[in-house]
Each structure stands twice: as structure tokens, then as C-alpha cells.
Structure 1
Amino acid sequence: RAEVPVLDYLSHQRRLLPRVATCYGLNFALHGLAQRYGERPEGADAQDIEAEAAALKAMSTAHATRSIQESREACGGEGYRAENRLALLKADSDIFTTFEGDNTVLRLQAAKSLLSGYRQEFSHLDFFGLLGKLAERVEVRFGEVNPITRHQNDTRHLLDPSVHAELFRDRERSLLISAARRLKGRVDGGMDSFAAFIEVQDHLLTLADAYAQRLVLESFQAAIEAEPGGGQQALLGQVCALYALWHIEQDRGWFLEQRYINATKAKAIRTAVNALLGQLRPHAVSLVDGFGIPDQLLAAPIGIAEAVG
């Protein structure tokens, strides 16, 4: 029996293809960020851009490090051979991960910026007055969770880009409001504001991750809308759906706890991810080639077309 390419196994598809999808989304998000930075008026407030840069830098470098490690393991002994360069890439990514500071610090910086960003909306309030205003909104969210969409699990619904966008936005907003509520509760109880901030850091890190993932999704969807119709747009749509559903699946515990989905829908999302993986498997090489990395830069036996098939 002929040897089966490792990417034909569902286990390896789940390990690698969602990471390719995330690379596409990050590529669109980072290019968009660079463009907005270049176009901003001189002297303009850069708080939003700085928050995006912090969140996306943390997400992209962590993603690179994990993806290289996953790829190395998936390739077995070939992945460890020096000539295949994965070990060298891993050494480089370890350095990139701490450029501009530890990723944990950058994520906290982004989360703090999200909290303080509401000062412009509520300029008449001080910072903790603002937190109180945000905390008042927490009750609203539970009334906004649609019981119909929570149970809806047909393929058309699960692949709907607007559904993905809504879930990502709602997760970020809910985390922001609940973080504000936790901070306010501690400060109202007499805790020092710095101590309160430390006590909710786990929450703020989750908020920063949700923020970064939402930025990537919106950039991905905007790039698809800008594409002329045709096969390329349809393929990118599948890649974007994989990005969205895979991240929802990875964080399904939160979505279940907050009643945005139920157990049946969580299982349907996993099934939809597996179906997308099967549909994208024949395009795996062309998707990677789409980044336009010259062969001389790859310069690894494992990266030639005959090796990856």
C-alpha cells in the first residue's frame, strides 16, 4: 500500500490547517494596521493603533512559535533535521516573541487600553466612574443572547460570516463589561486599584485575546469582500470560516458558560470544522504558496513540491 501523506489524516489537518487559516487572517490584519498607521495625521492620538499593535504582535508571535513547534512535531524526525530549517525558524521565533516586551505584558496593555478607551464616550466620568457605567451594562448582555440562534446548528447558519462576526464581537464586549464589573467591585470594597488590577489579570488576558481574534476576523472578512467574485473569493471564504469556527471551538467552554451556544451546537461546530478541513485539504499547498515565499528562502528539502504533494 502506498504511503499516505500525513496531511491526509484528520489529526494532522486539525493540527496544521487552522494555523494556515490564522496566518491568512493575521496577514490581512497586520497589513491593515500598517496602512492605518501610515495614513494617520501627524500628532493624532495613536491609542487605538497602539492597542491593536500590542494585541496583534502578541497573537502573531505566539501563533508563529506554536505553529513552528506543531509543524516540527508533525514531520517527525524530518522536522528536527537542520537542513529542513524548522529548528532554525523556532530559534528565530523565540526572539520575536519578546520583541517590544513580553507578550503577557503587551496583552495586558491592550486590555487596559480597551477599558480606558471608553473615556471619550463617557468623558464626564473619571476612570472608576467609567468602570461603574460599564458594569451597569452587564445585565443587558444576558437579554441579548438570542435563544433561537443559540440552538441553531444547520450548516448554512454555522458558515454564515455575520454569525461569526457577532459571536466574536459579543465575546469581546462581554469580557470587557465583566472585567469592568470585577474591577469596580474590588475598588468599591476598599481594595487598592493596583491590587484590583492584579487580581483580574487572568480575565484581562482573555479579553486581550478575544480583542485580537476579533480584529483578525474583521480584517479577514473585509479582505474577502474586497476580492472580485470567483473561485479565489470562495476559497478565502472557506479559509475564513475555518479560522472563525476553529477559534470558537477552541474557546467553546466560554461560549457554553455564557450560553451563546448549547452542547448540540458545540458538537455541530466541531463537525463543521472537520468538514472544512476535508474541503481545504486539496488546496493546502496552493494556500501556502499563496504567501509568495521564494523557493530560495524555503531552501529545505521538506518544502519542495514533491515532498508535500
Structure 2
Amino acid sequence: MAGPHYEQQYLDLMERIWTMGDERVDRTGVGTRSVFGTSLRFDLSDGQVPLLTTKRVFWKTATREFLWFLTGDTNIRTLCAQGVEIWTDWPHARYVRETGDAIDRAAFSRRIVEDGAFAARWGDLGPVYGKQWVDWPVFDPVGEGLFRQRDRGVNQVADLVQSLRTNPGSRRHIVEGWNVAQLDAMALPPCHKTYQFHVAGGRLSGVLYQRSCDVALGLPFNLWGAALFIHMLAQQCDLVPGELVWMGGDTHLYLNHAELVEAQLARTPQGAPTLAITRRPDSIFGYAIDDFNVQDYHPQGHLSAPVAV
């Protein structure tokens, strides 16, 4: 007899937060219902992926964002050029606040793409995820109390691949985004902040710890991104995907997401989509969007809700 659908644990978490969460004022002023210390587990063997079926998850958009992280880029121009607007709200809000120009987001995004100087001035997010993943700053002493930053920092992702290949039993397979010294320079401090990986019997499993999680809008993308990371690493390191373990700190639903939450909880998950990676590039940094193919994904109708900036 088959067990519960893999998505049911996500829906159970959503219901628990909505019915039992502590209602509180948050950074955005919107308000949330929140619980603390949560976890989900997903089997990734045989191409399985934790794509939600009770609403459509735009996995290609999430994949483009993830591949952008791996480039170390921190400017939204490349994303906007691909029609990916995940990060546009923060620089758009800053532009409107600082200039008084009430340009709408779509026009702002077009200008980012079309005007390189404008993008350089207004499109940078600061040292967010990708910067920390592939170019964590390193400083060398050059005199008493003086330090100089190296031209290139630590590439955590490249080091991770090397350690998985050469020392699979290590307990230090970690990619960290929480650079305390640079948090104030980031448009948004990292939410999905710590990844750790584990090899057993030729299977690669991963833990994602997320300090803050928007369950309705953010978590579906975060689960996909973490699963994608494991699948890519497994291919690069001649391993097979094992399990994704997701852990949340402040795990919340925004109060203005009521319609989405209630509609989604009324649906029943169904289907079992799988991921095929159609090409093995020479490096973890060599993947392109066309290398990923999701099969048997038939989600129910799209549900939307506003992003709290």
C-alpha cells in the first residue's frame, strides 16, 4: 500500500501554521502567522523532485535563478533579460524611495535591461547568495591593523565538488551564505542560508537550513532549488541522488496570503514529476536551462499572492 503523497507534508505544515501559528508583526509590516523549527524530507531517487502539484511552480524560472547564483552575479540585469523578476521588487522599491520616480516595476525592469548604466546604478543587490557561494571575500594582513581584499575569494561550490569527489566521508560539505560582515550591504540577507551534504553508499543527500521561510511563495522555489542542487552535484560527482532534508527556523505565512492558503489546502496532491538532466557539462558551472527536463508534471491551477518586500 502506497504511503502519503510527498506533498502532503507541505500542506500539513501550511495548515499547522495557518491554524496554530503565532500572529506577529514582521519586518515588512504585512504581518505573519509563524511557527519555529520545522522540517520536511523528500526522496530524490530515480529522478524524483519535490515539485508541488496543488499549484504550478515555475521550475524553469527557479532554475534560471539558481544558475544565476552559480555565476556569482549580483545584478538583476541578466535575470530581467530572461524574464525572471524574482529579485526586481527590492531594487525597484529602493529606486522609487530614493528618487521619488513612481515608475512601475515592468518599466523599471525594461530600463534595467536596456540601459547598462542605469542597471549598474540601480540593479545591484549587494553581495547576496551567488557572491558568497562562489566568491566569499578573503582579506590578507598587510600591516598593523590593515588588510587587503584578495582579487578572488573562496569558491565554496567548487570546493564542495572537490571535497565530495575526494573525501566523501567528510562532515564539512557545506555551502554557507550568512556572511555576518556583509549582511547590511545585501538587499535581503540570505533566507536559504546553509546547505550541507552527506554521502552514504554512493547516495548524495543534502540538508537545507532556512532561517526565514515564506511557505506560500518562497518554499516551493526553495525546495526545487535544493533538490536541483543535489541532482546536479550527484551527476558531477558520480553519485546518485538520495534525500533532501529541509529545515526551517521562522516558518511563516503572510496574513495577506489567506486566499491562496485556503484554496491550496482545499486541493489534493497528485502525480509524481521527475527530473532528467540531459547533458553532463565539464563543470558544475557549465549547466544551461535546456539541460533540465521535467516529465509528468501536471499541476493544478495557478495560485498567486503578493510578495512582501
* TM-score interval for Structure 1 and Structure 2 normalised by the shorter chain: under 0.3
| TM-score, length basis structure 2 | 0.27
Q: Give the structure with the higher percent strand.
A: 2
Flag the structure with larger Rg.
Answer: 1
| TM-score, length basis structure 1 | 0.27
